[in-house]
Amino acid sequence: MSCLNPAQIELTMIEPKDFIRTRVVADLDSGKCSQLVTRFPPEPNGYLHIGHAKSICLNFGVAQEADGLCNLRFDDTNPEKESQEYIDAITRDVNWLGFQWQGDIRYASSYFEQLHDFAVELIQAGKAYVDSQSSDDIRANRGSLTQAGIDSPFRHRSVEENLDLFKRMRAGEFADGEHVLRAKIDMASGNINLRDPILYRVRHVSHHQTGDTWCIYPMYDYTHPISDALEGITHSLCTLEFEAHRPLYDWLLDNLPSLPHPQQIEFSRLNLNYTVTSKRKLKALVDQGLVSGWDDPRMPTIAGLRRRGYTPESIRDFCDRIGISKAEGIVDMSLLEFCIREHLEHTAPRAMAVLRPLKVVLTNIAEGHDERLVAAAHPNVDMGQRELPFTREIYIDRSDFEEVPPKGFKRLIPGGEVRLRNAYVIRCDDVIKNADGEVVELHCHVDLATLGVNPEGRKVKGVVHWVSASHSLPAEIRLYDRLFNDAAPDRNDADFTTFINPESLTVIKDARVEPSLATASGRYQFEREGYFFADPIDSKLGQLVFNRTVTLRDSWAKSGAGA
């Protein structure tokens, strides 16, 4: 790594707002590295989730701020669990969040030949050996946190024998699990990761990038530091669970002197309540059919959040607000919801949608009355206007009428008045019921002198939303809520699936929306209902589908849900 010249030092613009950025600034300003190079190294064994977003924003964000580089590298060393689907999903998510990696996408599998050669180098130096114990024996002899491990009976094989066995492992002469290659470090180490960790194992499995070229595959802990070094990474930013693995990271690079030595720095992972962020558990939700897929809008995956209507800006804001530290903690889901509300408040146009329609006949205007009212698309941001057809028959929401109102009810009641949003004041004169006594229709009087003005001599407190019966459009509304009704669904050994919220999805098939949404795409505030997103897969002309992104206010805490 070359030293900085004075001109480069003056261009360092990164703000040291956390311990990682402070370290980066110090390394750049001291000339320890000439240019910051980070990487985002996901394993392609599942979709990315909100926890990965924190790492993405850190690795790419720090590189951007320091005028550095960030690589996207797939650590694809376990072909049994990896697929091209996951690779495509991950690259899509990183791009959607607003980041672009340096150069081509990189794969650890592209380094398989070099990784193999470095393993041979370790064997030749007497620092790696082929172990022929069974996996059960290796596990049993590894020891525990309070008891040292036991040397393998094959630990003292000669260099020549180890080289021969490793060559034959590569040639495919042995069955899965028959031999492994281990580093020769210290079976008595207090750090279990240094107790002769496995570097290679035999796996007769086709790889999604290399096909059947290899039947031995390197372990993640071996691959990661060498891949970092080969790419010239200067700062390898990892979550805290890798802190105990750092001595192995350093040992490998110290014992491969031809390689540069990146710095591994750990930070706390994102722990979010009311959710799970284990890929294994998220995959179980998908495999068991408990959700519709990795992009189910209830999932904490980036794909799920995107389909629900979250924006890249809101997720980046969320990651910025929670910050970077070494202290483990749990972030409240309400902060993520706050961030999307904050963004959509200023960017989402308004519209009216009646989720549970109740017909209202305005008896004092003629059949065929078709008036066109105009309303702003946004009350505070210039987004133009939208047209609201006003007709004799309209729909209001069933929740906006009560025949016997509870205390404090400020909407429509028999003999009472409300204002229609962006329109007139109406009075309920008659309630029509079916044979079962259910309210099916209201007959109301509209005061045509109240458009944009208050009625004389009386005060109308309530405002309700509405749509024209003849001009409104049918729509399916999907009301999404938190997937789990417990704040810590994966605590201890509990079966996390028992905490699935049975009300996490409510589908309303017969909603009505204003005609301005005929070609809807994107995000809207449905007035008085929440923020909604036209489903990018299912919604189309003549078959509108909207996903609720978030309610207008945080009603979860107030309702006591999950308590």
184 is catalytic: no
Residue 46's region, left for phi above 0, alpha for psi from -120 to 50, else beta, is: left
Name, in order, each residue with C-beta under 8 angstroms of 357's C-beta and a sequence gap of 6 or more: 395, 396, 397, 398, 510, 511, 512
Query: How far apart, in Å, are the Cα atoms of 536 and each of 25, 99, 344, 465?
Result: 42, 22, 17, 26
Contact 35, 4 (CB under 8 A): no
Contact 425, 455 (CB under 8 A): yes
Contact 242, 214 (CB under 8 A): no
The CA-CA-CA angle for residues 182, 115, 218, to 5°, reads 50
- Look-up of token digits 């029509």: 432
Rounded to 5 degrees, φ, ψ at 114 are -65, -40
Helix and strand counts by DSSP (H, E) for the chain: 14, 25
pLDDT at 5: 35
pLDDT at 14: 80
pLDDT at 10: 41
Give 12: exposed, middle or buried? Use CB within 10 Å, 0-12, 13-18, 19+.
Answer: middle
Pairing mode, strands 357-362 and 393-397 = antiparallel
Report the alpha-carbon distance of residue 465 to residue 353 in Å, rounded.
8
**Per-position b or e across 418-450, b if 16+ CB within 10 A of its CB:** bbbbbbbbbbbeeeeeeeeeeeeebebbbbeeb
Which 8-state DSSP code applies to residue 217? E
Report the alpha-carbon distance of residue 307 to residue 113 in Å, rounded.
40
Averaged pLDDT in 10-residue chunks for the chain of 563 residues:
35 78 95 96 97 98 96 97 97 98 98 98 98 97 95 98 98 97 98 98 97 98 98 97 97 98 97 94 97 98 98 98 94 97 98 98 96 97 97 98 94 97 97 96 97 91 96 98 94 88 97 97 97 97 97 67 39
Map 473-518 to HEC letters: EEEEEEEECCCECCCCCCCCCCCHHHHECCCCEEEEEEEEECHHHC
Pairing mode, strands 350-351 and 353-354 = unpaired
Report the alpha-carbon distance of residue 7 to residue 3 in Å, rounded.
12
Secondary-structure percent of the chain, ordered helix, strand, coil, rounded to 5: 30, 25, 45
Contact 240, 269 (CB under 8 A): yes
Map 415-481 to HEC letters: CCEEEECCCCEEEEEEEEECCCCCEEEEEEEEECCCCCCCCCCCCCCCEECEEECCCCEEEEEEEEC
The CA-CA-CA angle for residues 517, 522, 524, to 5°, reads 65
Query: How far apart, in Å, are the Cα atoms of 39 and each of 57, 59, 339, 480?
Result: 11, 6, 26, 34
pLDDT at 493: 74
Contact 32, 1 (CB under 8 A): yes
Contact 106, 71 (CB under 8 A): yes
160 is catalytic: no
Report the alpha-carbon distance of residue 9 to residue 3 in Å, rounded.
10
| Residue among 23, 32, 43, 170 flagged as catalytic | 43
Report the alpha-carbon distance of residue 4 to residue 34 in Å, rounded.
5
Rounded to 5 degrees, φ, ψ at 201 are -135, 155
CA-nearest of 135, 143, 145 to 182 is 135
Beta-carbon count within 10 A of 545 CB: 19
Report the alpha-carbon distance of residue 195 to residue 151 in Å, rounded.
9
43 is catalytic: yes
pLDDT at 349: 98
Domains annotated on the chain, with CATH = 6-267 (3.40.50.620), 279-348+476-559 (2.40.240.10), 351-472 (2.40.240.10)
pTM (two decimals)? 0.92
Report the alpha-carbon distance of residue 343 to residue 314 in Å, rounded.
6
The CA-CA-CA angle for residues 532, 535, 536, to 5°, reads 130
| Residue among 23, 81, 155, 269 flagged as catalytic | 269
Beta strands in 90-131 (DSSP E): 106-107, 128-131
